[in-house]
């Protein structure tokens, strides 16, 4: 798999990224948008670090939040020490502290986890994640118990006007670290270790037979990945000014897994895409419906079944077609499939929201959806939703057949 | 002495429950190479279905109906989901079952709400079985052990004495050969996966009322099962058995003791112990107690 | 004459099944040594023992003067022994060039470095390109290995095996499944790339064997029943009974 954008001029792409990062808050000016952008920035680092394990090293981890979370805890204590004046250290470089902490834990836990590969590795990572989570709750002295440890990111005098009080300044801090981390992680893929990590992923046995200790390769890859996870943890600490057990939870680990996979594991930019989509999904959708986790789970499962290369693979699939100027032939099938999917989704949302509403016995049976008010217990909305769902699924079946036929035509012609 | 015996019996009954779960997981893993991340979710479904059926019909029908329902769901999952993902490799299969676990968890939230449901031990089983010194040992625990042992013995018999059992055993290592001999291996896979799910469902029926039936139960018992399987050694039933009893007793004893450790009580440290055991074992013996197959 | 590779009374059992039953073998430095035998004789197992994939049940294996019994595959490889596989064992997602480069990185001394750009390593590049030329895949440089034809993959398999510059090369049925012309090419390739090295080769194609081998050892039911020059082996009674009588000839 190529880990570079295909023939699009590397400098153009990196340059565009810088511009996008710099300009984004000027385009999306609401404070809600700004918090989203900042979260996306640190989550991008987190997801990219996760893909160092999965996409590049072939290691599926269910406990990656351990490194980002512990990095965050170390960072928050460091920040509090800076605030009290016990230590002099620029807040701007705090992510480095988080990164080093993550790296230390990577060495500690990595030694145990990388002794096995494959499914066993995945389960061990889960076990370590649960263990760390349980420990965090057991030692409230250091970890602050359920409430966590809070901090203040505005410490000392502003340097060059930067105090990190305003959210905009935090955004740019995150953006700079995000860009630097992206460059660093991309550069790592071009090193002997990065290349051998790919080889170990593809064929660990053969990698041994060309002189490489696969366990050591995996171990080093994990340690480096844990560094960047720690960086993202520290940035999260600065942004939210609180670190709690949630930062090392299985939920967080699961979240980065889902985000990276949805974005696309085989491509370097996949996790970037996935991080953006995921944060958007979580932040935007969770405000609208209580069933957002169900929708996310469904989306994830559908991706595993039908597009295991993620959104990135769907994007990359179009490129040869675009270059051959045959994309026009796909417009109608795509529109048909999109329409059918929309129908099915409308039906699904209707059914799900109604069930959710009914199961919550305290709220009564009246509800609003898409601006319409109706009684969730009456037959009419059920009939409409179910028929939309069924109709949508049937037409989706035919639309995807049509799309597949058109694709086959384009490939052979 | 009394305390020790009571807790030992409790630990064994919990350990047997864990073995019901980890054996199903190990069987599916040994046969199909896929670790079913949603196994604990099937356990949860078993408990919730049993609750529903118990409230409407009764406990004894639930004992049969709930596992069958879960088994059917398991077969459906294999037929329409897992089979599709099979060609993408083991990582994709694991991710599929991971997403499935998420979905089942949310679906349970959806239908039964976020708080625990009142799934109780049936009155005819709710009483003392025998006395150990001054404590009464509950009948239901004895019932649990009985069901666990009966189920496991019948599975062992089915695998070693029936024809389908032999086919399954053969397909464990040589699926293509078995298929070439005319057996419908995909159907065998579907049956085994469904069987594993039903086993987990049964564990849910008997465990859900002894412990609590709430939406977080899959997330709390799941990691313990995986740790059990890793400690016992991936793919080894005997290892899973030893590990289940070990961890069952470890948990039970730790939770009820207040010995001081690092300024905390043992009962507070208890949640971490299975994971610590796993880490220590991995350092000393990476293959697990009796590991055979690498994931 | 010194032995590049030596096996001393090697036994291997899987459970209660004995596969290798007391094999002693001496491969002289610089020679081309073939191992033949009927299917199930244990040839692949022998390779797996030598290259460290499986541990021996008893006995010793020496690479030159060094005892390599019980070492891990990567340790044995670093001491200068390289093997190919009967079932093509390449890095499917990497390109032809990247496949070969992987085999060059460790011998070129770059180990686990994550501070150097691999594209800028000139010596690595030179060696990888040179190997690609020798195996005739230079034109397919950027093609993902999984997409190559079978014969191309077998050539790549050989390429990965020799790219690191190992002194002792083990080839496991390198011409399996090839047509007449492809086999002829492969034989020429093997002859060229093993100049100055010690070659041990498992093969079924007797034409290839008699063309390439300096000496032949015959493995039957886990035991070596004869070792010698091709003409001796052809004339050997026991070998004829056990094996040659049932084979296709050149």
Tell me the pLDDT tens digit for each residue of B26-55: 888 877 788 899 999 999 999 999 888 888
The dihedral formed by the CA atoms of B117, B122, B125 and B127, expressed in degrees to the nearest 10: 70
* Predicted complex ipTM exceeds 0.95: no
- Nearest chain A residue (CA) to B101: A297
What are C86-123's pLDDT values in tens digits? 888 899 889 999 999 999 999 888 888 888 888 888 88
Residue B293 lies in a domain: no
Q: Cβ separation of C119 and A216 shorter than 8 Å?
A: no
pLDDT score of B263 more than 80: no
pLDDT score for B295? 38
Subunits next to C (3 or more Cβ pairs <8 Å) are: A
- Which chain C residues touch A209 with a CB distance below 8 Å? 51, 73-74, 77, 82-83, 89
Separation CA C110–CA A410 (nearest Å) = 44
pLDDT score for B132? 64
| Token reading at A192 | 């002997």
Of the pLDDT bands very low, low, confident and very high (cuts 50, 70, 90), residue B173 is: low
Among B81, B230, B272, beta carbon nearest to A123: B230
Q: Cβ separation of A117 and B295 shorter than 8 Å?
A: yes
User: Lowest mean pLDDT: which of A322-326, B65-69, B78-82, C102-106?
Assistant: A322-326
Q: How many domains does chain C have?
A: 1
Minimal C-alpha gap between B155 and chain A (Å): 25
- Does A198 touch chain C if contact means CB atoms closer than 8 Å? yes
Task: Of B110, B143, B118, give the one whose Cα is nearest residue B128.
Answer: B143
Q: What percentage of chain C reaches a pLDDT higher than 70? A: 96
What residues 247-266 of chain B have any CB closer than 8 A to a CB of chain A?
264
Minimal C-alpha gap between C155 and chain A (Å): 16
Q: What is the residue-averaged pLDDT of chain B?
A: 83
pLDDT score for B247? 93
What are B131-145's pLDDT values in tens digits? 666 666 777 878 888
3-state SS string for B87-116: HHCHHHHHHHHHHHHHHHHHHHHHHHCCCC
Separation CA C125–CA C130 (nearest Å) = 8
Phi and psi, residue A261, nearest 5°: -65, -45
Among B88, B90, B226, beta carbon nearest to A123: B226
Of the pLDDT bands very low, low, confident and very high (cuts 50, 70, 90), residue B236 is: confident
- Which chain A residues touch C107 with a CB distance below 8 Å? 211
Residue B17 lies in a domain: yes
- Which chain B residues touch A120 with a CB distance below 8 Å? 230, 234, 294-295
Return the CATH number at C239: 3.40.50.300
Residue numbers of chain A with a pLDDT score lower than 70: 1-8, 360-366, 370-371, 376, 413
Rg of chain A taking only CA atoms, in angstroms: 23
Residue with tokens 């949310």: B106
CB-facing half-sphere around the CA of C182: CA atoms within 13 A = 14
Specify burial of residue B165 (Cβ count, 10 A radius: 0-12, 13-18, 19+). Answer: middle
- Which chain C residues touch A210 with a CB distance below 8 Å? 77, 82, 102-103, 105-106, 160, 164
Instruction: Mention every residue, 6+ apart, whose C-beta is less than 8 A from residue C87.
Output: none
Helix, strand, coil % (nearest 5) of chain C? 40, 25, 35
Task: Report yes or no on chains C and B touching (3+ CB pairs under 8 A).
Answer: no
Cβ pair C57, C19 in contact under 8 A: no
- Residue spans per domain, chain A: 10-296, 324-412
What are B182-231's pLDDT values in tens digits? 777 788 888 889 988 999 999 998 888 778 888 888 888 899 999 998 88
pLDDT score of B294 more than 50: no
- Which chain B residues touch A124 with a CB distance below 8 Å? 230, 278, 282
The fold of the A10-296 domain, in CATH, is ABC transporter involved in vitamin B12 uptake, BtuC (1.10.3470)
Q: Which of A209, A217, A266 is the best residue to mutate to test the C interface, defined by the most C CB atoms within 10 Å of its own CB?
A: A209
3-state SS string for B66-82: HHHHHHHHHHHHHHHHH
Minimal C-alpha gap between A202 and chain C (Å): 6
* Packing angle of the helix pair A328-359, A379-412 (nearest 10 deg): 150
pLDDT score for A200? 93
Instruction: Mention every residue, 6+ apart, whose C-beta is less than 8 A from residue B284.
Output: none
Separation CA A382–CA A387 (nearest Å) = 8
What residues 42-101 of chain B have any CB closer than 8 A to a CB of chain A?
81, 84-85, 88, 90-92, 94-96, 98-100
Separation CA A365–CA A376 (nearest Å) = 5
Separation CA C63–CA C59 (nearest Å) = 14
Separation CA C174–CA C213 (nearest Å) = 14
| Token reading at C248 | 């296709």
Q: For A49-167, where are the E strands, in sequence order?
A: 149-150
Task: Report yes or no on chains C and A touching (3+ CB pairs under 8 A).
Answer: yes
A144-170 b/e (C-beta count within 10 Å ≥ 16 → b): beeebbebebebeeeeeeeebeeebbb
Q: Cβ separation of A300 and B102 shorter than 8 Å?
A: yes
Q: Cβ separation of A301 and B81 shorter than 8 Å?
A: yes
Cβ pair B240, B247 in contact under 8 A: no
Separation CA A139–CA A347 (nearest Å) = 48
Q: Cβ separation of B99 and A360 shorter than 8 Å?
A: no
What are C1-31's pLDDT values in tens digits? 578 899 999 999 888 888 888 899 999 998 9
- The DSSP element (H or E) to which B232 belongs, if any, is helix B217-232
Q: What is the domain extent for residue C170?
A: 31-51+72-246
Q: What percentage of chain B reaches a pLDDT higher than 90? A: 19
- Nearest chain A residue (CA) to B34: A119
Residue B291 lies in a domain: no
Minimal C-alpha gap between C83 and chain A (Å): 7
Subunits next to A (3 or more Cβ pairs <8 Å) are: B, C
Q: Cβ separation of B295 and A359 shorter than 8 Å?
A: no
Cβ pair A80, A238 in contact under 8 A: no
The dihedral formed by the CA atoms of B171, B173, B178 and B180, expressed in degrees to the nearest 10: 140
- Does A6 touch chain C if contact means CB atoms closer than 8 Å? no
Minimal C-alpha gap between A360 and chain B (Å): 7
Q: Cβ separation of C101 and A194 shorter than 8 Å?
A: no
Minimal C-alpha gap between A91 and chain C (Å): 27
Q: What is the rounded average pLDDT of the residues C26-54?
A: 88
pLDDT score of C178 more than 80: yes
- C-alpha A311, offset from chain centre: 12
Among C91, C101, C115, beta carbon nearest to A203: C91
Q: What percentage of chain C reaches a pLDDT higher than 90? A: 33
Minimal C-alpha gap between A183 and chain C (Å): 13
Minimal C-alpha gap between B236 and chain A (Å): 13
Q: What is the pTM of this model?
A: 0.89
- Nearest chain C residue (CA) to A185: C114
Minimal C-alpha gap between A124 and chain B (Å): 7
Minimal C-alpha gap between A206 and chain C (Å): 6
Q: How many domains does chain B have?
A: 1
Subunits next to B (3 or more Cβ pairs <8 Å) are: A
Q: Cβ separation of A297 and B103 shorter than 8 Å?
A: yes
Q: Cβ separation of A210 and C77 shorter than 8 Å?
A: yes
Cβ pair A107, A222 in contact under 8 A: no
Return the CATH number at B58: 1.10.3470
Cβ pair C2, C64 in contact under 8 A: yes
- Does A192 touch chain C if contact means CB atoms closer than 8 Å? yes
Residue with tokens 């030329």: C133
CB-facing half-sphere around the CA of B267: CA atoms within 13 A = 4
Residue B141 lies in a domain: yes
pLDDT score for A2? 46
What residues 306-325 of chain A have any CB closer than 8 A to a CB of chain B?
308
pLDDT score for A154? 83
Report H helices in chain C. Answer: 43-50, 73-78, 96-105, 122-134, 150-163, 180-193, 206-212, 230-235, 237-242
Q: What is the residue-averaged pLDDT of chain C?
A: 87
Among A116, A122, A130, beta carbon nearest to B275: A130
Among A54, A124, A301, beta carbon nearest to B99: A301
Task: Of A39, A67, A13, A51, give the one whose Cα is nearest residue A262.
Answer: A51
pLDDT score of C250 more than 50: no
Separation CA B200–CA B18 (nearest Å) = 10
Minimal C-alpha gap between C84 and chain A (Å): 9
- Which chain B residues touch A57 with a CB distance below 8 Å? none
């Amino acid at each position: 798999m190529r880990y570079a954008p295909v023939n699009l001029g590397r400098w153009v792409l990196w340059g565009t990224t810088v511009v996008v990062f710099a300009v984004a808050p000027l385009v999306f000016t609401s404070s809600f948008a700004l918090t989203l952008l900042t979260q996306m920035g640190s989550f991008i680092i987190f997801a990219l670090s996760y893909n160092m394990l999965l996409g590049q090293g072939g290691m599926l981890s269910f406990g990656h939040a351990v490194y980002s979370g512990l990095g965050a805890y170390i960072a928050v204590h460091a920040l509090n020490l800076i605030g009290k004046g016990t230590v002099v250290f620029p807040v701007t470089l705090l992510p480095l502290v988080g990164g080093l902490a993550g790296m230390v834990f990577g060495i500690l836990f990595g030694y145990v986890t990388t002794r096995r590969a494959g499914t066993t590795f995945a389960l061990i990572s889960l076990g370590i994640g649960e263990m760390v989570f349980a420990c965090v709750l057991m030692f409230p002295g250091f970890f602050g118990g359920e409430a966590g440890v809070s901090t203040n990111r505005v410490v000392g005098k502003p340097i060059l006007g930067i105090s990190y009080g305003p959210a905009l300044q935090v955004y740019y801090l995150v953006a700079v670290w995000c860009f630097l981390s992206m460059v660093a992680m991309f550069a790592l893929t071009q090193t002997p270790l990065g290349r051998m990590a790919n080889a170990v992923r593809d064929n660990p046995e053969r990698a041994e037979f060309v002189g490489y200790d696969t366990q050591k390769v995996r171990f080093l890859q994990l340690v480096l990945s844990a560094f960047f996870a720690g960086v993202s943890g520290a940035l999260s600490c600065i942004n939210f000014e609180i670190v709690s057990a949630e930062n090392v939870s299985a939920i967080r680990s699961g979240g980065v897994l889902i985000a990276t996979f949805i974005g696309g594991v085989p491509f370097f930019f996949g996790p970037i895409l996935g991080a953006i989509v995921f944060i958007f999904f979580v932040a935007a959708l969770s405000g609208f419906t209580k069933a957002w986790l169900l929708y996310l789970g469904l989306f994830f499962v559908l991706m595993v079944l039908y597009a295991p290369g993620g959104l990135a693979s769907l994007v990359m699939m179009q490129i040869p077609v675009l270059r051959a100027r045959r994309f026009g032939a796909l417009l109608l099938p795509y529109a048909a499939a999109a329409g059918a999917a929309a129908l099915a989704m409308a039906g699904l949302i209707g059914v799900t929201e109604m069930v959710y509403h009914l199961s919550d016995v305290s709220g009564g049976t009246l509800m609003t959806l898409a601006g319409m008010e109706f009684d969730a217990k009456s037959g009419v909305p059920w009939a409409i939703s179910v028929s939309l769902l069924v109709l949508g699924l049937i037409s989706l079946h035919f639309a995807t057949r049509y799309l597949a036929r058109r694709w086959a035509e384009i490939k052979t012609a | 002495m009394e305390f020790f015996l009571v807790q030992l019996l409790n630990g064994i009954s919990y350990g047997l429950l864990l073995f019901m779960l980890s054996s199903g997981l190990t069987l599916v893993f040994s046969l199909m190479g896929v670790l079913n991340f949603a196994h604990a979710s099937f356990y949860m479904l078993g408990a919730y279905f049993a609750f529903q059926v118990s409230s409407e019909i009764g406990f004894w029908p639930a004992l049969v109906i709930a596992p069958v329902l879960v088994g059917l769901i398991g077969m459906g999952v294999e037929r329409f989901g897992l089979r599709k993902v099979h060609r993408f490799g083991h990582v994709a299969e694991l991710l599929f079952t991971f997403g499935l676990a998420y979905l089942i968890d949310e679906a349970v939230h959806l239908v039964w709400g976020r708080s625990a449901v009142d799934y109780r031990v049936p009155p005819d089983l709710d009483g003392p079985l025998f006395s150990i010194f001054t404590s009464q040992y509950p009948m239901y625990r004895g019932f649990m052990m009985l069901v666990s042992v009966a189920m496991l013995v019948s599975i062992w018999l089915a695998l070693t004495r029936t024809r389908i059992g032999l086919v399954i055993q053969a397909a464990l290592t040589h699926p293509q050969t078995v298929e070439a001999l005319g057996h419908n291996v995909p159907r065998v896979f579907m049956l085994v996966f469904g069987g594993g799910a039903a086993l987990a469902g049964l564990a849910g029926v008997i465990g859900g009322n002894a412990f609590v039936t709430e939406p977080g139960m899959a997330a709390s018992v799941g990691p313990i099962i995986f740790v059990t399987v890793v400690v016992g050694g991936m793919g080894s039933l005997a290892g899973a058995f030893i590990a289940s009893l070990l961890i069952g007793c470890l948990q039970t004893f730790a939770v009820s003791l207040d010995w001081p450790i690092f300024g905390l009580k043992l009962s507070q440290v208890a949640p971490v112990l299975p994971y610590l055991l796993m880490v220590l074992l991995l350092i000393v013996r990476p293959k697990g107690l009796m590991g055979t197959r690498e994931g | 004459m010194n032995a590049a590779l030596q096996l001393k009374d090697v036994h291997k059992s899987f459970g209660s099944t004995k596969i290798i039953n007391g094999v002693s073998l001496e491969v002289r430095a610089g020679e081309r040594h073939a191992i033949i035998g009927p299917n199930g004789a244990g040839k692949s197992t022998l390779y797996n023992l030598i290259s460290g994939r499986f541990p021996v049940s008893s006995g010793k294996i020496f690479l030159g003067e060094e005892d390599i019994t019980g070492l891990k595959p990567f340790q044995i490889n670093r001491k200068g022994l390289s093997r190919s596989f009967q079932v093509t064992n390449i890095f499917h997602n990497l390109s032809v060039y990247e496949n070969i480069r992987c085999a060059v990185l460790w011998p070129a001394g770059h180990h686990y470095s994550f501070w150097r750009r691999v594209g800028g390593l000139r010596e690595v590049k030179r060696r990888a390109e040179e190997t690609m030329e020798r195996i005739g895949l230079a034109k397919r440089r950027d093609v993902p290995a999984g997409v190559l034809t079978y014969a191309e993959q077998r050539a790549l398999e050989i390429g990965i095996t020799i790219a690191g510059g190992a002194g002792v090369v083990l080839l496991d049925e390198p011409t399996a499944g090839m047509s007449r012309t492809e086999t002829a090419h492969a034989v020429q390739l093997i002859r060229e790339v093993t100049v100055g090295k010690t070659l041990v080769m498992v093969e079924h194609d007797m034409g290839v064997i008699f063309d390439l081998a300096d000496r032949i050892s015959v493995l039957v039911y886990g035991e070596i029943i004869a070792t010698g020059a091709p003409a001796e082996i052809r004339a050997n009674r026991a070998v004829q009974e056990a094996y040659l009588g049932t084979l296709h000839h050149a």
